[in-house]
Structure formats: C-alpha cells, structure tokens
A and B are shown apart, each in its own frame.
Chain A
Amino acid sequence: MASPGRIRNRKPIGTSRSDNYDQDDEDHVNAVYQRPTARSAFEQALDTPKASAAVVGILTALAFALRFYKINHPDQVVFDEVHFGKFASYYILRQYYFDVHPPFAKLLFGLAGWFVGFDGHFSFDNIGDSYTENHVPYVGMRALPAILGSLTIPVVYAIMKETGHSTIVAAFSACIVLFDNAHVAQSRLILLDATLIFFMALTIYSYIRFRKLRYWEFSVEWWSWLIATGFFMACAWGSKVNGILTVLTIGIAVLIDLWDILDIKKGHTLEHFWQHFLARALGLIVVPFIIYLSFFYVHFAVLTYSGPGDSFMSPAFQETLIGNELLMHSQELRYYDVIALKHRDTKVFLHSHPDRYPLQYDDGRISSQGQQVTGYGYEDANNHWQIIPTKALPEAGRGRVVQHEDVIQLLHVNTQTLLLTHDVASPLMPTNQEFTTWPKDDHSRHNDTLFYLDLIDGNAGDTWKSKSGHFRLVHVPTKVSMWTHAKQLPDWAFKQQEINGNKNSVEKSATWYVDEIVSTDSNLDLAEINTPKEPKKLGFFRKFAELQLLMLQHNAGLTASHPYASTPINWPFLISGISFWTENDTQKQIYLIGNAIGWATCVILIAIYVGIISADVVARRRDIEAIPEHIRNRLWNSAGFFFLIWAVHYLPFFLMSRQLFIHHYLPSHLASALLAGSVLSFILSDTINFPISVAGRRTHMRPSEYADLGTKGPIVVGIFAAIMFAMFVFIAPLTYGTPGLDGDAVNSKRLLSSWTLHFAAKNT
C-alpha cells in the first residue's frame, strides 16, 4: 500500500512543483527574490552559455581521451568479449545464435564490425586469444562502446544543468563518471554496458525535458520529448535485460505524475486526465514496444542461417532457418517404420537388450525380472524400434502416417518384444514405474504395451515427424510418461542410463524425438529426404514470443557460481571487482574496479541525502519546517527522482538469484553521481535555480532565484576533480591493463584487502 504520508500530503513525492505557482505566499516572495547580477563573479561567469559549452567541451574531450587511450591494448579477447564479440560475428555470418540479452546493442556491434570490415571468421573462443594474429579489426568494434561511453559524460552534465543545478555542480557529477575506472574499463571493451548506460542517461535527460514542459502540455516539443523518452527507453531495454529497470523507473515517475494530475485541486477534468493518460500510454508503452519489437524484427531478418542457437528453439522455429538439420532431415513417420528414439535433454537412445533386471535390488526391493530397457548414448542395432499400429490401416496413402494422440506400440526389433510399463518400481526411483518389454506374441499384457503419442504443442491431426516432432510417450493405462535422467544403472545394466515412467504425465523433461528413420516400407526414397529444402515461414510474433520466453527462463537460470560474482550489498562499497584479463609474462592485468574516491563520495552523499530526507519527514511530523519550501521541493522532486533511479536500478538485484557482478551496479552508480551533485549543491548553498520549468500561458509568474555557490563551489569541485584524477591515474594500470606491475606495485594498488588482484607479492 502507498505510504501514508504521501497520500495525506496531497502532494505526492517527486511530482509537480506547480503548487508553488498556486500558493502565493507573500512573505516568501521577498525571501526568494534575487537579482541574477547579485551573484558571485564565478557563478555569473560560469553560468553563461559560452562558459557552459566550454566546460562541457573540455569534459567531453577528456572523456574521449580517457576512453580511447590505448584502446588497442590488449590485442586479445578480454572477459565477456568472448560472448559479445562472438555474437557480432554471428550477425556478420548471419547464423542464428541464442543469448539472454535483447539484440539491440549486439546488433550495433555487428554493424560496427561490418563497418570496419570484419568478416566474422574469428569466433572469440577463449579469453586471451590474439586479435592481431587472427586479423580481427577489433579496434573499430571497441570504438563503438568507447564513443557511447564518452558521450554519456555530456548527457550527465546536461541532466544536471536541466534540473537547475549550477555549472560547477553539473561538472562535479560529470567528473564522478568521467574519472571512474569502472566506467572507463567497461566502455573500452566489446561489452553491452556502455550502450545500456548511454541510453539510460538519454532516457533520464529526455524525461526531464518532458517534465519541464508540463505547462506546455500537448505542444510539439512536449510530444517530441515524450516520444524521445520512449525511444531511448526502448534502446536501453533493447541493449540488456537490466534496461527493464529504466522502464520501471520511468513507469513509477509517470504514475506519480498521473496521480497528481488526477488531483481535483489541479482543476483538471477527467477528460483532460484521460488525454494525459493516453498520451503517455502512446509515448511510453506503444512506441517503446514497437521499437523493441523492431530490434527483434531486424534480429530475425539478419539471422536467417542455421547456427549454434538452433537447439534452444522449438522445432517449428528451427525449420525457419536455412540449413537447419531439422529442416533438412525431418520427415513424416509412417506405421511400420523402424526408428531410433532419442531423449531431448540427455541425448541417449531408447535401448533394450536381452539381459534382465535382477530379481532383487540392493535396497531389498523386488523387480519384475523383465527385459531391461535403458538409455544408451551410442548408435547400436538395439536402439531400433518399430512403430506398430493399434488400429486398422489402409493399404497406402495418408492413413499410414502417425498422428498426434495415436495409440501405438513400439516393437524392439532385435528381440521382437514390445515396450511395456507397469506398476512396479523402477530400479533407482521407487516413485517411478519400471520399463521393460514383453514378447509380441503373448497378448496377456496387451493393455500395458499401449502408449499414446503426445506431440509437444500438438493439435489434433498433426503428423509425427522425425527430428522436429518432439513428443512424450504416455502409457495408456497408468498415465505415466516415458522418462530418463542422468543417473546410471549399476553394472548389471552396463552402467547405462535408467528409463522409467514419470507419474507427471506432462513432465517437461520427458521429451523425446525420433533421431533417425532406420528403414521404411513406404515408397518414399530415403535419399530424397536429404535434398535441401526451402525454410518454412513462421509469424514474427510467434518467433518473438518464443525467444522472449526463453530469454527470461535462461536469465533466471544463470545461477552457476562464478569466482568473481558478488552480492549486491558489496557493490556501492567497491568491496571486490572482476578480473577481466591477465597476461602472465608481462604481469599485466585488467581488473574492473571503480574509482575509490568517486564511489566513496557517492555512498556518503547518498547517506546524507537519506539523512536529510528522514530528518525532514520527522521534523515536519512535529510541525517544524526547517527547509524553505522551494529548496525542499527540489530535494524531494529532482534529487528524489535521482534517488528513485538509483534505488530502482539497484534494489531489485537483491531479489534476483542469478549470478551477479559489480558491473550491474554501473547504471546505479551513474544515478548516484547525479544525486551526489544535487546533495553537494544543497550542502554548499541554500540557493537554487528556480523556476526551471517552461512557464505556460496560464502559469503565475513567480519571482525567480539563481543558484550561487560562491567561490567555494569551484574550489571544492576543482580539488575534488584533481583528487579523482589522481586516484584514476593510480588505478589506471588495472583499468588499461598496461603497464605490467610487479608484486609490490600490485600490493600497493590493492586498496582493500578484498580486491582479488593477480600477481600480488606474497604476504610476509
């Protein structure tokens, strides 16, 4: 439920500043009024457009310099370039691959690679593989994130300027990101984060521009910034799964905004509210969704050939890819065909041999002593089964094709026995039924040999096909599903895999397919099957839905432990980093770690912000209003928005059980830099730039105020920037991976004992 305070105040947190325009408080007017020329000389000088442009120019130039410095080093595959470089080459080769992240950023890499003439021949197999030896134009590909990472700096600066902070504060926020070793390391390599962060920053910027136009609602600019927000949001979301958090942030801000518009004291009609609602629905739901879809459209349009991602997809999907094995070899199955069945997950053949189950197992349970049915990993004549009908068949024609939900028997060709299961516990799992076989001439157990064919996603009348026709084999009388698991039977079954009946008849892992048609008595020529076929068509939306679902499942499934994975609580404090790359001979290494000064500053200023806000809430509860209304609004609204971005990009990670890395914190770090600027401004001065929104036709004109940090602003920020730069240079060998460090130097760079650097000298 909503927090009580928010509703009671009738002026929800983080929303409109328009109340100030409404309530004219005469005393306040005088207090706020201030001439722009009454400010300190520094402030006035820096506030001019020219000075601002100069500052942002210098910052941007520095950003490019730091991100492009020795970008060609190392000329080896570093960390996740293994994945993302590879994906780029798949785009160039147009081979289908599968990844948990949406395709936008990877498409950009593909594009960049194609631009610089990469032909996709290199597959980025291992960290440390040489680019120069393999003639990969990797610098061009690395330039893309470096450019985007550098351009993030002016966007950060612009965000701060647009939210009414003075030039020097904006420079402060920009410096935190500019001199950050983690941001630099992350944007010099073929990784997705720079793209994500750039578009996330642009989303924030656009949304702020949009909000500032709220008295010019439905104007062209208003619409432009709304659509721009949606567009950049889609780009962030399309770059990496985490981008969804940016969408969530904007979503929350919009809900608060709409709640405010709904307030009857604003004097809007319900029609007006619905107009606002629909405009946002269009700009922030429909537009981003279309753009997000279009990334996938391009993705599918580019990847038309069979590739390593085939096996993740459903058979119907695979058949749309040129050269896919299913497409090439899939064929309808007819009764009396002899086939080999394979289990989808463990890749074993359904196998049987004349040996029998032992009478009694080690744990004392008794078996049926029937013929063993096992899973066997290799081709063998004992894997051959014949499909026997249970109904009368026509002599020829379509009637002989096996269909979904047909009841069949499977005849083991070598021993001429029929597959059977019954209510006897299987050798390894007392909960599951034993599978065995029964002589085909003995009809006493006829019912127990009946199975029906349950094609996955099958509809009545679908035919059973080899390779592509994934199915479950469900026993008719007991409803168990033929199943196997990666556990071996003891020596009496030659360590083959156990086959048993799973009582969950719709168990996902009980999926089988026909690997091969050994022989057929139909008049089709087997050779004919192997001629190339045209890929089938599948609707874009079905492809998209399937891929999106798989991405979510696999993302949640990334739970394997990783030596450099860390838990979210460690991130803001920079407890540990990630070793990206090492070179033993020269003792060079790249270690992802942030600028300790910058990160500490952010953490401290976040803590101060939370302290101020809590104190404000508590004080107001006691009717003490310590902070002037307009400054308080800035703290709650602008800084509150930054805090919201930080929290939404950070806190959800605590709930995720997948493996997490410190680079997941980088978007939050950017938000914390914005918040840090805002809090610094609050600390240094009790003045703000106000008002900052564009006044509409009917807005009351308000006396304005100008932020004035005096001379202490530039001094504080100047010193801070110098220290930041010094720290950046100090850690730089770990960020750029050059020069190599001897043991003692490594030890000195290890600011926290938890930084797991390589080549450290032995502790003595």
Chain B
Amino acid sequence: MSSEDTSARRRVAKGPGCSGGFMSGSDYDTDPLQYDDHKDGHSKLRPPIGGRVSSGRLHKPYPTPPTSISDFIHQNLEHLPPAIYTLLSCWTRFHKIGLADIVVWDEAHFGKFGSHYLKREFYFDVHPPLGKMLVAFAGLLSGYDGNFEFKSGEKYPDTVPYVAMRVMMATFGVALVPLGWYTAVELGLSPWACHLVALMVLCDVAWLCISRFILLDSMLLFFTFTTVFFLTKFHNQQYQSFSFDWWLWLALTGISIGCVTSVKWVGLFVTAVVGIYTIEDLWDKFGDLRMSTRNQLRHWGARILCLILLPILVYMTFFKLHFLILNHTGPGDAQMSSLFQAHLVGNDFWRNPLEVAYGSKITLKNMGWGGGLLHSHVQTYPSGSTQQQVTCYHYKDDNNHWLVLPRWNGPAYNPNEELRFVKNGDVIRLQHAPTTRSLHSHPIPAPITKLNYEVSCYGNSTVGDVQDHWVIEVVDDIRQGKKESLDRIRSLTTRARLRHEVLGCYLSAANKVLPQWGFKQIEVSCVKENDPDDIHTYWNVESHWNDRLPAGDVKHYKSAFLRDFWHLNVAMMTSNNALVPDPDKDDILASHPTDWPWLRLGLRMCGWGDNQPKYYLLGTPLVWWGGTLSLIVFVALLGIYLVRWQRRYVDMDATGWAHFLYVGKVAFYGWFLHYAPFFIMGRVTYLHHYLPTLYFSVLMSAHVMDHCIFSARWKEKTKRILFGVTAFAIVANFWWFRGMAWGIEGPVNEYWGLQWRKVGFFSVVMEACDDNWSAIRLSF
C-alpha cells in the first residue's frame, strides 16, 4: 500500500509529498509559519476530516449480509488460512504432550501454587495471582484434588491429571497463532507478511516448548498478544471515535492490560507500549485545533477510564479473589501483616492474650512492607562486635521467641508476683528465649548500613548491662486509634517503636540482606535518626504466650483489603528485587540479556538422564536471528529515510510513511521496552524473559520484509519465490529443532549430542549444562 506513488521517488521535492509527518498521517498541520513556502502542498495532502487514520489496516465498508452459502463462503474466505494455522498449532502444541510424566522445570512452582488454591492455603510468590489461579482452575476442571507436592523431577501419580492440565495451558499457546495472524492483518501488513507472522509464531520452538507445560508463560504470552491485537483493533477504529466498536476495543485493551500484569509484572512493559501509543495519539489530538474542547476532554477521559482505571480495577479484582480463595493458613503467612494472618482459618493469633505483661513470651514483627520477625541464632557476626547475630526472618521457629523482662537495675521478674502490664514508655529488656541472651546495641557500625549501630545478643539470663535496655514508644493502635487513648501494649494491633535507652537509637530492619554468613536474612540495626514516620522502625507483637493471662478474642482483629493488597504488592516487589545473582553460586541456567537476541544459549528444562524425555528451551534460530536483524535493518532504514528527507528526497507518500512508522514503532517500542529494562534490573535473568520480547521482533521482521519485498516494486514472481524460500526455511528450521520441544528420548550423547555438533556452538551449550538444575532454581 505504500507503493502507489512510486514515480515520486528520487525527486527533489518542491511540492506535495515532502512532508511525511513523523507520527501518523495527521500531524503535518503544525507550524504553518515554518512551512510557508510549502503550504499549498500540505493542504492538498491533508487527509479528509474524519478519515484521519492513514496507517494500519485500510478501512473497508462492511459487506452486505450474505444471502447465499457461496456468498458467505466468499466473504469469509479470508479466515481460512488462520483456521488452518490454528489447527496446525493445535497439533504442534498437543503432540505427545504427556510424554514426560514427571514434574518438569517450574511446574514444581506453579503446579504447587495451583494446589494451594485448591487447598485454599495462603502462599506467597513474587508473581501476581491470575496465572496461578488459572492453573488451579485447570486443575479443578480436570478433577485434581490439590494433594500433590509437585516436587521437582518427581513422577506424577495417577491422581494428578497432568495431561489435562497441560492441555489447558497449551490452549493459550494455540491461541497465539491466530492472534498473530489477525494482529498482522490489523496492522495493515500484506497477506504475504501475515502468513510470515503466523508461520513464525507457529514454528518457534521456544514458544512451543514453554506452552506445553504447567507454567505461567503461555498465559503471559497470550495476554501480551491480545493486548497488541486489541490495540491495533482500536487504532483502526480511530476514524469513528466514540462509536461502540471504538469503546469496545479500547475497553478490551484496558482489560487485557489488567490481565497481563496480573500474570507477571513483565506485563507492565506491554502496558508501557500502550502508554506511549496513547500519549502520542493524545498529543496529536491536542494539536488538532479544529477539535472541540468537549471532544478533547472526552478523549482524555476515555483513555483515563479504560487504560488506567479499568486495568487497576481488574488487577485488584484478582487480588480480592486471591484473598477470598486463600482463607486458610499456609506457607506464605509470614510475608503478611500480623493482623492479616490473624484472620486466616487455622491461625491462632486471636487466641493470644490481649495485653502484654512482664514475663510474656512474644514474637516481634517488623511492620515495614515485607518485614519479618525479630530473630537471633547462635551464629555470631564475623566482624564488628562478633557477638551473636540478630536478624529479621520470615519463617516461624523458636529462635523468634523473646521474653519481656524488666530492666536490670529494677526489681527482677517474679512469676508469682502480681501481674505487671507493659506500658507506653516502659524500659524493658528482651531476652532471646533459646539462648537467654539479651537484645543489645552498642556504638559499633552495623555490618551493612554502616551509619547505624549494630544490634546483637549479649550476656545471659543473669549477666547484662544497661545497653540491654529498650524504651517502648507506642505509635498508635490500629483498632484503638491514637496513643493518647491507650495505656497497655496489645498484641497484633499496637504499633510501637523500640528506643535504645543509652544510645537513643531505634531498632530497625530495612530490607538490607545480610551476606551468606547471615544466611541471607534481613539486617537488624539501630538507626540514629529519629524519624517518627519510618515504618521500618515500627514493630508489633505477633504471637503472645502468657499462661497467666486469658486468651483473646477474634473480634479484636480486623484487616482492610486495600492495606493487605498494598502490603502484598510491596512484599512481592521486595522479594523480586532480592532475586539478585548470587556470586557464591554459579547459576548455570541464568543468562545475560545480551545472550538472548542472538540465541547464544538455551535453558535445560529437566534432568538429562538417558531414560527420560529431555526438553531444552531454545528458539528457532532463524526466527530469533531474523527478528534481531530486522530491528537493525529498520533503524538503518529509518536513518536513511530521515537523512534523505532532510535533503528533500521523497521516498514514500504521506500514507506510506505513516504506515511505515506506525507498524515500525509498535514493533520497535515493544521490543525495546521489553528488552532494555532487563539491563537495568539487578535481578537474575533467564532466557524465557525474552519470549514476550520476541513477538515484537517477529512483527518487525514481517514488517521489514513487507516493506522491502512484498509491498515494494518487485515482480510478483520474485515475491512469490522469496516468500517460498523464507517460509520453507522457517518450517525446515523448526523441523530440525522440533525434538527440543517435543522431548528427546534416549541417551543424549548418541542421539542428540552428535546432531548438534553439526550446528556448531550448541554443542558447547549442551556440555556446559549440569544435572542438578533443580537445586539451583529458586523461582521463575
């Protein structure tokens, strides 16, 4: 569609066609002053009002309803190729899907999380809940009872319908192919290019492989694809703003954004693509002086409603569901606030005696987002005072137990005396129950945050000094309000700070992780600055045991959804950032982002024994390399066109230029925004993080091929031959590597090692892998 005005090429422009608005077809109306001498030329080119869109699929009037069967077939003939591709994709996705009857790769995680939903136990994970809820739903539909542990590499028992679950997950993978096709159609690519997109999506081994297991990636990819598809649909509705279709596609884009971010946070990147598109679009409309203010506001309002509020609502809805389903205690309790935990079925916090007294045994929970329990263990600091370590830790064990005792130089605690409750402003001593040492601080720099004082455990039940004294400063009580109105310390609800009596510093745990000698637990230190708003210095009593006090009542405790929602999200964020490369451990599965575009290495997904099917996550090289190459070609082309434009050569008419830019920008922004952030993130990265990114490079390769070959001035025969060669190469490439996704049976060294040796560097990769992959893998 960009080749109508071919005669205009290589001509120094003095008249029409020299503008080429950079953004889309409709923004060459600015700066009339600068354009004085060309003004007439522009106005001729200005697209008719109402038909602003000159990129994307050309709008065709709707056909009349079919009156005969042949009419109907004729009208729907265009849907035949995608239908065939979809059937083919069903075959590739479902073929031998149950071959590996063991827990493969991260099925260990996501299968397990699915089971938690079925058992309704609260768990904690770095990913939002939608994907795992869908896994659980698949389990529910297929009759899985949730009682399998999903230990890595373990054989599935008969009670686990893993094939059915995998098939349901793979269905998301099947849908990628028609989505790819229709997105290409909506982008306005030629039929040749649409075929290429569908073929590449169908034939990529990595996408195939990752869709065939109980993993989140197939859903992440599915929602990424739908987001782009809805966006392109919406773009093509721009000629009829505020029509029903316009609203429909805009709202669907918003919902899709909500879903993709609810599967994995990587979905934020595709959200950013939609964001950039929308900002450009609105900026464009902002410059349209003919548009009424009312319409301007409506445009802004529609975007805010559908692309900001709606996704947030969708995202929060899934969390609400998450909390509703998971109402029993489970392994993830400790990540949440004490109040939230009190409400889970099976938790006995509410049995805690209400008010803390001297002699009580308590656990202290840090109230910072994702904070843990105050913990100590017999290991000592390797530097500083070399006294016993004090840390913050999420898991519940006896080392979190502290006894509340009076100060050294006052009357000692006597179990038989009258009960004395702890009050605001009291000076107390906290004795670590298992080791009988007291919580202690001194003017020695803390191991990580060197500006703070170190906190340690020192002495024993009879030996200690004034450095063991802590003053309780109540902040407030969530149930009872301001501190003026309360006197005693209540478990769970009272927020308090602990001030060191001698040094005046505050006990704090601010998500700084100790090195291996501290078992990667969180550093506890004493912060000198008195910042009353620093939530990391807030603590509450979580568990509370005191035989001399009556048990509490559940009605004292209640937690708000928004608070829990926010708390869980911050905790997810914190753990996600904590997945940093561990210098002590050589994670052979991790890879660096620079390895991805050229597919320098793959990822071994399961054990490598002779008698089990083996899976290896590696893309179809032609698709990956072609995609990366096309990005470079696009940038080069753009550079050349811009320079030529600066010299007033006309390569394309305005429509062609707008189309070239529109498709190119969707693909390039998408690729860039999905790729560049991985360089900035400090966390461990793996090959499968590139899979959503790949989609945009696939779109780009189809676009570049389309621009340079299928829509350019070549003979029809040449185009046909070039398409045939490309398509054949992709399919052949896929066939060559199909085993990696379908599973390789038999010993590697005979059958597979030899095969890859021919391909060169893959052999190196194979040998570099090792067998204890499961021990290393933490998450993702």
| Bitwise interface map of B from 265 to 283 toward A, beta carbon under 8 Å scored 1, else 0 | 0000000000000001001
Residue of B nearest to A629 (CB): B33
In the assembled complex, B451 has its CB within 8 A of some CB on chain A = yes
Using a Cβ–Cβ cut-off of 8 Å, how many residues does chain A contribute to the interface with B? Answer: 33
B21 close to A8 (CB less than 8 A):
yes
The complex places the Cα of A105 from the Cα of B21 at a distance, in Å, of: 49
Q: How far is the CB of B729 from chain A (nearest CB, A)?
A: 30
Q: Pick from B22, B450, B771: contact of A8, CB below 8 A.
A: B22
Binding stretch for chain B, among A147-155, A198-206, A257-265, A315-323: A257-265
Report B523 CB to chain A, min CB distance, Å: 12
Interface bits B438-452 vs A (CB < 8 Å: 1, else 0): 000000010010110
Residue count of chain B within 8 Å CB distance of chain A: 40
Query: Which of the residues B283, B504, B642 comes within 8 Å of A7, measured between beta carbons?
Result: B642
Q: Does A431 contact B (CB under 8 A)?
A: yes
Contacts of B588 in A (CB 8 A): 431, 503
- Complex Cα gap A655–B679 (Å): 9
Q: Mark B478-504, 1 if CB is under 8 A from A, else 0.
A: 000000000000000000000000001
Considering the chains assembled together, what is the distance between the CA atoms of A431 and B777 in angstroms? 13
Contacts of A368 in B (CB 8 A): none
Contact yes or no, A561 B287, CB < 8 A: no
Say yes or no: B642 contacts A9, CB within 8 Å.
no
CA distance A657 to B767 in the complex (A): 33
Contact present for B775 and A262 (CB under 8 Å): no
Q: How far is the CB of B656 from chain A (nearest CB, A)?
A: 17
Whether the pair A262, B451 counts as a contact (CB closer than 8 A) is no
Q: A431-B586, A431-B588, A503-B770 are in contact. Are A8 and B668 (CB under 8 A)?
A: no
- In the complex, whether B529 has a CB less than 8 A from a CB of chain A is yes
Binary interface encoding of chain B residues 649-691 relative to chain A, with 1 for a CB under 8 A from any of its CBs, else 0:
0000000000000000100100000000000101000000000
8 Å CB contacts to B: which residues of A539-562? 561
> How would you classify the secondary structure of chain B's contact residues: helix, strand, loop or mixed?
loop
Contact of A431 with B770 at beta-carbon distance under 8 Å, contacts A263-B646, A622-B287 already known: yes
Q: How far is the CB of B540 from chain A (nearest CB, A)?
A: 25
In the complex where A4-B27, A7-B642, A11-B34 touch, is A504 in contact with B768 (Cβ < 8 A)? yes
Q: Please state if A1 and B28 are interface contacts (CB–CB under 8 Å).
A: no
Closest B residue to A621 using CB positions: B287
| CA gap between A445 and B638 in the complex, in Å | 62
B34 x A264 contact (CB < 8 A): no
Inter-chain contact total with CB atoms closer than 8 Å:
75
Quick one: CB contact mask for B251-267 with A, threshold 8 Å, 1 for yes? 00000000000000000
- A1 touches which one: B445, B668, B770 (CB < 8 A)? B668
The minimal Cβ–Cβ distance linking B499 to chain A, given in whole angstroms, is 11
17 example contacts (A-B, Cβ-Cβ < 8 A) are as follows A4-B23, A4-B283, A7-B22, A7-B642, A8-B27, A9-B31, A9-B34, A259-B646, A262-B646, A270-B647, A503-B588, A504-B768, A621-B286, A622-B286, A753-B529, A756-B451, A762-B504
Rounded to whole angstroms, the CA-CA distance of A763 and B643 in the bound complex is 65
Q: With an 8 A cutoff between CB atoms, is A10 at the interface?
A: yes
Residues on B with C-beta less than 8 A from A754 are 529
Q: Is A8's CB under 8 angstroms from B28's CB?
A: yes
C-alpha gap A753/B770 in the complex (Å):
53
A506 → chain B, closest Cβ, in Å? Answer: 10
Using a CB–CB cutoff of 8 Å, the interface residues on chain B facing chain A are: 12, 21-23, 27-28, 30-31, 34-35, 280, 283, 286-287, 289, 445, 448, 450-451, 504, 529-530, 586, 588, 638, 642-643, 646-648, 665, 668, 680, 682, 767-768, 770-772, 775
Name the A residues within 8 Å of B775 (CB-CB): 430
**Are B767 and A503 closer than 8 Å at their CB atoms?**
yes
Rounded to whole Å, the gap between the CB of A391 and the closest CB of chain B is 27
- Whether the Cβ atoms of B283 and A621 lie closer than 8 Å is yes
Which residues of A have CB within 8 Å of B28? 8
List 14 additional contacts besides A1-B668, A10-B35; criterion CB under 8 Å: A4-B23, A7-B642, A8-B21, A8-B30, A9-B31, A9-B34, A10-B34, A430-B775, A503-B768, A620-B30, A621-B30, A621-B283, A655-B680, A762-B504
Contacts of A429 in B (CB 8 A): 586
In the complex, how many angstroms separate the beta carbon of A246 from the nearest chain B beta carbon?
Answer: 24
Q: Nearest CB to that of B529 among chain A residues?
A: A753
Nearest-Cβ distance from residue B726 to partner chain A, whole angstroms: 27
CA distance A9 to B280 in the complex (A): 16
Residue of B nearest to A261 (CB): B646
Contact among A264, A430, A561, A622 for B648, CB-based, below 8 A: A264
A623–B289 CB distance below 8 A? yes
Determine the distance from Cα of A39 to Cα of B532 in the docked complex, in whole angstroms.
Answer: 56
Q: Tell me the complex Cα distance, A431–B770, Å.
A: 6
CB-defined contacts of B23 to chain A, threshold 8 Å? 4
A563 CA to B289 CA in the complex, in Å? Answer: 55
**CB nearest neighbor in B for A11:** B34
Give A365's nearest chain B residue, CB to CB. Answer: B772
A8 close to B31 (CB less than 8 A): yes
Q: How close is A463's CB to chain B, nearest CB, in angstroms?
A: 28
